[in-house]
């Protein structure tokens, strides 16, 4: 029997707790926000907003047959999720030039890409989350042969589904982060969260940023932006 309410992991924005079922965790969302490894603050009710947004989007993915760790929403700030052994790398799906891509290539933010770009980053904050390619992943044994293609296909399917879903709610999905891991049955599942913390979302008409960039760049109106995303998803 696994003890409940035992903290398995605490990050800057979320906490994982054990449950009585060894294959399930409680994922708790905090109001804390961080950026660039140094900037820290609190976004009022962010944990509540991100819980609702993640639950809504994971439900959408589950209905579409995209495997993920979500089981159910169990409180204003908690999701019940399947236990995963997370991969040490993160995918970023990009539809529009912004953030790191604009900086690396010297391109203007807002340039529409001809097709989605899928990037992979090593989850090592002290190294600045360096870019990885397929050769790195295979040579370092980060993922068994053939499984990278599974992740890539799921990432692109997720991107297409979310891009269309957001577009119907007058939101442009600029880019977003995806994390995958192994479940107990050896299946690869999408994990972590999907929220304005992990997605760049712009208003389709005005280009107004409705995501964590408002916190990153001290633009103000952060709580209002997160609340607006919730309102549009639940409209």
Q: What is the per-residue pLDDT across 35-69, written as a single tens digit (0 to 9) for each?
A: 987 789 999 999 999 999 999 999 999 999 999 99
Percent of the chain with pLDDT over 90: 91
**Interval 86-126: pLDDT, tens:** 999 999 999 999 999 999 999 999 999 999 999 999 999 89
Tell me the C-alpha to C-alpha distance, in Å, between residue 53 and each of 57, 175, 176, 177, 190.
6, 16, 14, 15, 15
> Average pLDDT for residues 123-134, to the nearest whole number?
93
Strand partners, 93: 118, 176
Q: Domain 85-221: give its CATH code.
A: 3.30.470.20
What are the boundaries of each domain within the chain? 7-82, 85-221
How far apart, in whole angstroms, are the C-alpha atoms of residue 214 and residue 225? 8
CATH 3.40.50.300 matches 7-82: no
pTM above 0.85, yes or no: yes
The DSSP code sequence of 130-180 is: -EE-HHHHHHTTSS-TTHHHHHHHHHHHHHHHHHHHHHTTTEEEEEEEE-E
C-alpha distances (whole Å) from 45 to each of 50, 67, 76, 182 are 9, 28, 10, 31
Residue 235 burial by Cβ neighbours in a 10 Å radius (0-12, 13-18, 19+): exposed
Round to whole Å and give the CA distance between 68 and 36.
28
């Amino acid at each position: 029997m696994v003890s409940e309410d035992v903290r398995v992991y605490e990050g800057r924005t979320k906490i994982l707790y054990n449950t009585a079922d060894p294959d399930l965790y409680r994922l708790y969302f905090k109001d804390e926000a961080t950026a660039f490894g140094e900037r820290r603050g609190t976004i009022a009710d962010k944990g509540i907003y991100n819980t609702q947004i993640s639950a809504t989007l994971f439900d959408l993915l589950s209905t579409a047959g995209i495997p993920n760790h979500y089981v159910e929403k169990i409180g204003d700030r908690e999701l019940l999720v399947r236990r995963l052994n997370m991969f040490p790398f993160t995918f970023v799906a990009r539809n529009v030039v912004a953030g790191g891509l604009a900086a690396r290539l010297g391109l203007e933010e807002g340039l529409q890409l001809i097709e989605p770009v899928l990037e992979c980053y090593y989850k090592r904050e002290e190294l600045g989350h360096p870019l990885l390619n397929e050769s790195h992943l295979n040579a370092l044994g980060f993922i068994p042969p053939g499984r990278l293609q599974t992740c890539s296909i799921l990432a692109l399917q997720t991107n297409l589904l979310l891009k269309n879903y957001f577009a119907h709610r007058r939101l442009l999905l600029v880019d977003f982060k995806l994390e995958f891991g192994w479940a107990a049955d050896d299946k690869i599942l999408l994990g972590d969260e999907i929220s304005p913390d992990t997605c760049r979302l712009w208003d389709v008409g005005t280009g107004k940023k409705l995501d964590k960039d408002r916190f990153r760049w001290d633009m103000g109106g952060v709580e209002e932006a997160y609340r607006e995303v919730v309102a549009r998803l639940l409209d």
